[in-house]
Structure formats: structure tokens, C-alpha cells
Structure 1
Amino acid sequence: MGSQEVSNADWQGKHVTVAGLGVSGIPAARVLNGLGAVVTVVNDGNDERSRAQAAELEAQGITVRLGDGATLPESTELIVTTPGWKPEKPLFAAAAEAGVPVWGDVELAWRLRGQDGREPAPWLAVTGTNGKTTTVRMLASILEAAGLRTAAVGNIGVSLLDAVLGDEKYDVLAVELSSYQLHWSPSLRAHSAAVLNLAPDHLDWHGSMAAYVADKGRIYEGNTVACVYNVADGLTEELVRMADVEEGCRAIGFTLGTPGPSQLGVVDGILVDRAFVTNRQKQAQELAEVADVNPPAPHNIANALAAAALARAFGVAPGAVRDGLRNFRPDPHRIEHVADVAGVTYIDDSKATNTHAAEASLASYDPIVWIAGGLAKGATFDELVTGCAGRLRGVVLMGADRDLIREALARHAPEVPVTDLDRTDTGAMSEAVCEAARLARPGDTVLMAPACASMDMFTNYNKRGEAFADAVRALAAESA
């Protein structure tokens, strides 16, 4: 099974172990079973939900082993893993010793393209520490504006397996890929790909920053038309230099400044292209206005430029870039305007679950009353606080690891007033919003950009964002 494309006949009787239940494991098991493979699912958990999922799969003739994700089933010829399983799992060590290959769900989808005899849709792929989902959705909007049949797939929207095996025929796919997924995707070869930015994240999974960066860089391997990188992030350009790409594949940079040749950038409030024009030395093609980007925060303009670069690499006309960006509406909880109350603007950026995302959000407003805190995931906050100290009117802290942020504020912004809420219950958000309103003055922005994960207090960042929005709306009702 070394080739990139595999026929249905190759799966008949093939013994495949699927590692993990869940959003990618269950569809993979069903697809493989439908192709004629002998499928065994192994799962660490053995809770009520897992047992219910196992019963559904077993009714289809799939073997499920709960509470034993460490042992390699006999006769296994291939493992297909869900993204969350760490590389150091004993199951993978046993597979390596037995010479059994390990694929992720993305790799499986890549190998199954063209099963129906149709020409597979090219992939325009996006990764990065922050901004992946927004960029992929912007890209899909641009491609749709160009009249192309497309979908936002991968970590979002339509599942990749559904996209490559379903009845819908796509012209091109906008694919979001995480570092987890890229780790297990050895043969993926995109038409064009972008790495938006790189900052420490998920290091507990990858083991080191170097390993994390290397997995992100896999997205460039075998690119045929363009490797899109962030001019402001030298690591992304270095990954392009290191990638083994197809002959003629180009390095295309994006920048918030004036672009050089083979770059996209911004000139006098206009997004311009100096990469996909006849004369890159002397020509620049206007694509859209900064005002066409929603919201027009600096990091979101960078997302728009990356999406535009991938679309232009696929041959999309400038007008479709403009129309696609105008049509795009961001997902909730991503620098989302909630309300204006007593002259103060309230912004929900609950999706800012790490310091890199919070830094981008904090750079978009001034002055700010910042609501922050949660689970730090091993992060430190000195650099973040140093960069935003001059913008801060005040800070409200909550959550399990708020002390780490408070200590960074004491070191680098001792003059900024801090309210430390010594509670981690979900009701803390209402108090946080009230405290922020007390600190804010007309013209200020209250920004909930926690720089931390949410699971200490909320099910996920969506629930945290909803709690913030509810508290702001309650404040507005009281002020009316």
C-alpha cells in the first residue's frame, strides 16, 4: 500500500486497526469496513458513550476492543489513527516493531481519492498555530465566488472522507490541517499550501517545538504550484526552503507591508498581488480593500492575504477574491463584536486559547480592559504582557492558571490595575464583565481574549464565549 492511490480491491480482507473512537475514528472504521477490510477498533476508554458507539459499530460487523488501546491486534497490516493519539503511545511502538504503517484520517482520505474513477479534486491546504479555520473559510468563500464547486474540509465543515467519497463532485477543496493530522500524513501532496504562523502550542503532544514545527512543515512536501509563507514569520519561510516540492513550485510570501516581487501585501489600504501577475518586478494587481476584510484586524488581514494567495495560485480572478472576502462572515467567538454599552465596546475572542492568538487580538484595540485566564497549557505570559502593556486600561483575571498572568503583569505592567477573581465556576464570567465595565471608560474596548484554554471552567471555548456574550447582554439590559 505504498502508492498514493489505492483501489477498492486492495482493501478486501486487509486487517486494519483503527485507533480511537470519535469524530474521525468512527467514520474511518465504517469506510474501511465498507471497502471490505477486516476492521478492529481499539479505544482506551470504556465509558457509557464508548460502549454505545461500540455497539453501533459491532452491529455493522466491526470488532471493537474497549479499555485496551495499547495492544496491537494480531494480523494488523495497517493502523489508522485519530489525530489525538500521541506518537509515543505503546500501540505505535508495537506497530513500528512489527513493521506496520500508521496513517491518520487525512492520509486515509488522500489515498482514497479517485475511488469512483473521477479525477480527484486538488487540495489547497492551510496550517498554522492560529487562524487556520478563518483562512480556510475565507478561501472557500473566494473559490465559491469564482464559481468553483468547493468545500471547507479537514478540521472544519465537511469531513475529508465524506468529501473524497461522497456523491458531490468538487473542483477544489479548501483543507484545514492540524499538526496532529500532518504528523500522520506521509504521502499528502497538495496543489498549494500555506503555513500561517508558528508559535509554541501542543508541545505536550509533539514533545518539542522542533517536532511541532517539523510536522507543520509536512504540508509543503510535494506541493506543485505554490508554497505560501508569512514574511513576518521567518520559520515559515525556512520550512519552504527545506521542503521537497515539485519542479516549478514557487515560494509566495504574504505581508502586512508593501509586497516585494512574488508576494501579496497591503498598499494604501488595498490588498495587492505582486506574485501572480505578468511582470512581478513592475506590476501589482489590486485584489480588495482592507475594508472588505471582516473584521479588518491586522491578523485577519494576514489571513485574507494567505487565502487570496492560495486562490490566486489556483487561477482565481482578482474580482472573485474581492467578492469572496466581502461575502465571508467569521465564525462566532473570533474577535466578535457583542455590543456597545455606555460608550464601551465589548469583543468576544474566546477562540484566543493561546498567547499567540491573544497577542494578535490585543494588537487590534487600544485602550483595552482585558479579561484573561484559564488553563495555560504550559505557556508563559511575559512576552505577551510586555507587548500589550501600553494598551491596557485594566485587567480582569479568572480561571485556574490566572496567577501566571498576574505575576507577568506585576513584572512588566505594575501600574495597570488588576482584578483577580478567585473563582473558577461558570458564574465568574458575569462578575468578570461587571468588573471590566467598572474599569472601562467611554471609548475603551473590553476584550475577552483569555490566552488560555477553557476546560477548567467551560466545556469548550464556544461555551466560554456564550457566557461572555450573555453577561454583556445582561449588562446592556441593566444600562438601558
Structure 2
Amino acid sequence: MDAEVTAVDDTRNTSTKNSGSTDAFDGRKVCVAGLGVSGPPVARALLARGARVSVVDGRDDDTVRPVADALREAGAEVILGGTPLPEDCDVVVTSPGWRPTSPLLVRAAEAGIEVIGDVELAWRLKPADQVWLAVTGTNGKTTTVRMLEAMLRADGRDALAVGNVGTPVIDAVLPDADGHVHDILAVELSSFQLHWSSSVRPHAAVVLNVAPDHLDWHGGLEPYARAKGRVFARGTIRVVNTTDDWSSRLAREDGDPHAPMVGFGPDTPKAGGLGVVEDLLVDRAFVSEPHDNAEELATLDDVRPAAPHNVANALAAAALARSVGVAPGSVRAGLAAFEPEPHRIAFVATVGGVDYVDDSKATNPHAAAASLGAYPSVVWVAGGLLKGAEVDELVRMAADRLRGAVLIGADRARLRRALTEHAPKVPLIEVEAEGVPEGRTVMDEVVAAASSLAQEGDTVLLAPAAASMDMFTDYPERGRLFAEAVERML
């Protein structure tokens, strides 16, 4: 990278539009669109600040009715079974999953009514001195914010990971029952949330990577990537993955050119970056003399698992932590305290000299490629709902390390075609959900098929490159059933 960071200017985290205001919505008519995860806490926060709140949701079933009743008791108007735009509406706060083409949002735009998301609302309501460190990207967000939270806490900071990791962002900017608000937030941001954010300005932010995902929502790769790039706007310290073209491009094109830019990657870092020297994670950005000095942060053994993409997550988290002055020893202590989330390249067991690994969270080809790249000889369990994603490049890149493949799910034919074309010598077994013998699960059949292809020293890797809902409730169930089937072989 050609930009350097030699010191951190804490004044960089200045407040923006309405940030820290307690009465910005007092008396205003606000429409909350959607009763999903973010809708109820948004409605409660607005009611507490004197807003006149109308909540709309197209559903009217046993799932949403109790939530609607609770909000009515709190003072909100709730409309189920339709999505009308309330009269005299001043602003719409939309759920992240609502597309810009949703009729209510289109009507609001045509009427000149501002549409924001839950993250933008949280930014406007947060205490002015609360620091945000933001993480976005196609893959690795949750792991990175969890690592970052652990590093901050190891340094004695009052920090919390928020977003898709448990605590809604809106709840983390408001005082709890004891009047306490966390000083620093490690914020996981999706492309949906960033699309609806106009003034969010984290102290520092990272785009971990960009690969095709949610293209139906955004209308293509370019708008999807540009939504990610919004995290770099307005003076934010730009933390960049030097091995990802989009990460670097978005930092240059969508970020503030006057803001520091910090690179991270798997090689020896240049001045202004973080990287790896032999088995050490080192910092040459947040040091007094980056041209001459480097600070040891941790070892590869401190990163669990030490797969290349997870080392990248650790470097990204370390850069964000160092941007607020976290000590090197706290980076290492945080990694030691970090507990990996389930179903993310999780070792299950060794059976007959073969390792079995659950990476059910690899729900797109980019994530599966990172997982496959971590092992030299793999029997690959793949398939499910590809959501329009292409798999030819994934198979081409992984072909020389595939011992065999077990294919499942609705879109397995596309994987079969890619394997036949790009890895024709790799043996394939397809497993269908129908016809599984009584007393066995489909994953029992999958694991048995994989074990028949594996040899001592191989890794049987569940990295489906696809969503799970065609055969399973979700990716955690898919991973759990895989692990249970492996454990029955012990």
C-alpha cells in the first residue's frame, strides 16, 4: 500500500447528522417497514424518543401477531397483511431485507420521504463519543467482529460485537436498564444495511472481500460491491485486503482520499500495513516509525483455525483494534480467548486417519474456495441451492486437491457438470434425500460415501458452496447432522 498510518487521531470519530441527539425524532411520524429481526427494536427505540410510530408488514400469521400486539401495547400503530405508506409520514426506517423496488419504498421515494435503515438510525441516535469499528465483506464478517471484540476486551475496553452476531445495532447505542452504553462497537454490516446508510462514519472500517452474492437484491455485482464500499466514505480509516481487488478498489474509489489506508495480507508487510513474517503476525502501520519498525502481534498458532482466510480475518481485526490503540499483547490475548463460531471450518473428528471438517457456513463459492484452499487433499461434500452463483472457477481452482466429491441438493447437477469438465478424473457420488434407509439420515449416507472415497491423510470437507434450505432448515442443521453422522462412525 502507498498510504501509511503513523498515529491515530481520535478526533476522526466526529459525530454527524443528528448523532447523539435524544430528540431528533420527537413528534415525527415514522414508518417502520417490516417486523423482522430489526423492526421491533427500531420501533421501541423510536417510541422511547417520542416518535409517532406506524409499523407495517405484509404478513399476518402466528409468528408476527404476538410481536405486533406487544408493539401496540407500547404505543405503536401496527398494520399487518399489507404495506401501505402511512399518511403524513416523515421518514421510513426499512428492514435490511426489503428491496429498493418494494412498493412502499418506491412510493416513499416518489413522495420525497427519506428512507433509512436500522444502522443509519442507530448512528443518528448513538452517543457522540461512542466509537464504531465496522466490518463488511462477502465472507468472514462474523468471525472478524468476534475476534475484534475479544481483542478490545483483552485490552480492557468496554466493547461489544453487534449486528448479525446477536445484539441489534439499535439496542447497542441506547442505554440499558442501568443507563450504560458501551464505549466501542465492533459492527458487522451487510450490503443491505449499507445501502440504506447515508451518514454512517466509523472510526475505521474494513471490506474483507467481495464475491458475487445477493445479486438479485442489488441488481448486479457492481452495485453490490458499491454498497460495501459505502463503509469507507466520510473520513473513515480504510483497512484493505491487499489480495482482494474489490477491497482495494473500493477503498481508492469510494473512500475519502485524505483518510489513512492500511493494507493487510499474507506476506511481509510494507510500511503502512499488517502481514505475516515467517510464523508471526506483524504490524507496520500503527507504530511510531513504520519504515523502520514492526510490532509483533501474535503467531499463526494463535489463530484458530490457521487457514489462510482465517489468518486474513485475524489481521483485519488486528488492524481495526490497533486503530484505537489496542496493545500488541492484547491482540494476541484476544485471539487466544476467541472461540470460533460453530460450522466455520470446524474440526469434527479423525476416523481411520481421515479428518472430517464441518464448514457448513460456506454457503457460496467464494467461501467454499477459501475452505478448500486450506487442505491439500480433500473429499468435498458440496451442493444445495446455488442462488444463481457460478461454480466453474471454483472447481477449476480446486481440481488439483480433490480426491473425490459427494454431491447433494437441488443444484448438484451444475456442480457435476463443472467437475466433469474441469476435474474429469475426480470420482463422484451423488446422494439423494429420497430412499434413505430407515434409521439413517441423509448425512449418514453422505459421510459413508465420502469415507469410501477418502484415504489416510485426506480431509472430508463439508463446504457446500450453496445454501441449505432445499434439504435442511438452515446451515447450522446441515453442519450438525454432518457432525453427528461422523461421530456415529467412532
State the TM-score, normalizing by the size of structure 1.
0.95
Residue 61 of structure 1 is matched in structure 2 by 75
**Equivalent position amino acid for 1:142 in 2:** M
Answer yes or no: is the 8 Å Cα contact 2:32–2:39 preserved in 1.
yes
Answer yes or no: is the 8 Å Cα contact 2:174–2:181 preserved in 1.
no
Deviations 1:279-307 (A, max 9, x none): 22222211111111010000000000000
**Equivalent position amino acid for 2:298 in 1:** A
Note if 1:136 corresponds to 2:145.
yes
CA distance in 2, matches of 1:329, 1:50: 33
Q: Please list, as runs of the form range in 1=range in 2, the aligned pairs for 1:52-451 lying within 5 A after superposition.
A: 52-69=66-83, 71-114=84-127, 119-167=128-176, 168-224=180-236, 226-245=237-256, 247=258, 249-423=259-433, 427-451=441-465
Query: Which stretches in structure 1 are left out of the alignment for 5+ residues?
Result: none
CA distance in 2, matches of 1:267, 1:387: 26
Answer yes or no: is the 8 Å Cα contact 1:18–1:29 preserved in 2.
yes
Residue 473 of structure 1 is matched in structure 2 by 487
Distance 1:105 1:434, change over 3 A: same
CA distance in 2, matches of 1:246, 1:378: 35
**Equivalent position amino acid for 1:37 in 2:** A
CA distance in 2, matches of 1:10, 1:328: 38
CA distance in 2, matches of 1:234, 1:388: 20
Greater alpha carbon shift after TM alignment, 30-39 vs 182-191: 30-39
SS at match of 2:261: strand
Instruction: State the Cα distance separating 1:202 from its structure 2 match.
Output: 0.5
More RCO (CA 8 Å, sep 6+): 2
Instruction: State the Cα distance separating 1:44 from its structure 2 match.
Output: 1.5
CA distance in 1, matches of 2:80, 2:98: 15
Answer yes or no: is the 8 Å Cα contact 2:239–2:319 preserved in 1.
yes
SS at match of 1:286: strand
Q: 1:35 is matched with which residue: 39, 49, 58?
A: 49
SS at match of 2:296: strand
Equivalent residues, number = 468
CA distance in 1, matches of 2:238, 2:111: 36
CA distance in 2, matches of 1:223, 1:174: 18
Q: 1:13 is matched with which residue: 2, 5, 27?
A: 27
Deviations 1:340-367 (A, max 9, x none): 1111110000000000000000000121
**Equivalent position amino acid for 1:97 in 2:** E
Note if 1:51 corresponds to 2:65.
yes
Q: 2:468 is matched with which residue: 441, 447, 454?
A: 454
**Equivalent position amino acid for 1:44 in 2:** G
Instruction: State the Cα distance separating 1:468 from its structure 2 match.
Output: 0.6
CA distance in 2, matches of 1:331, 1:105: 25
Answer yes or no: is the 8 Å Cα contact 1:4–1:187 preserved in 2.
no
Aligned Cα root-mean-square deviation (Å): 1.5
Answer yes or no: is the 8 Å Cα contact 1:76–1:100 preserved in 2.
yes
Distance 1:437 1:244, change over 3 A: closer
SS at match of 2:316: helix
Instruction: State the Cα distance separating 1:10 from its structure 2 match.
Output: 3.3
Answer yes or no: is the 8 Å Cα contact 1:151–1:157 preserved in 2.
no
Deviations 1:31-62 (A, max 9, x none): 11121111111112122212222122222221
CA distance in 2, matches of 1:183, 1:427: 41
State the TM-score, normalizing by the size of structure 2.
0.93
Instruction: State the Cα distance separating 1:6 from its structure 2 match.
Output: 6.1
Instruction: State the Cα distance separating 1:8 from its structure 2 match.
Output: 3.2
**Equivalent position amino acid for 1:433 in 2:** V
Answer yes or no: is the 8 Å Cα contact 1:258–1:266 preserved in 2.
yes
SS at match of 2:186: strand
Instruction: State the Cα distance separating 1:93 from its structure 2 match.
Output: 1.1
Query: Which stretches in structure 2 are left out of the alignment for 5+ residues?
Result: 1-15
Deviations 1:426-458 (A, max 9, x none): 932211011111111111110000000011111
Instruction: State the Cα distance separating 1:245 from its structure 2 match.
Output: 2.9
Greater alpha carbon shift after TM alignment, 294-303 vs 414-423: 414-423
Distance 1:12 1:121, change over 3 A: closer
CA distance in 2, matches of 1:141, 1:79: 35
**Equivalent position amino acid for 1:180 in 2:** F
**Equivalent position amino acid for 1:361 in 2:** S
Answer yes or no: is the 8 Å Cα contact 2:433–2:471 preserved in 1.
no
Aligned-pair identity (%)? 54
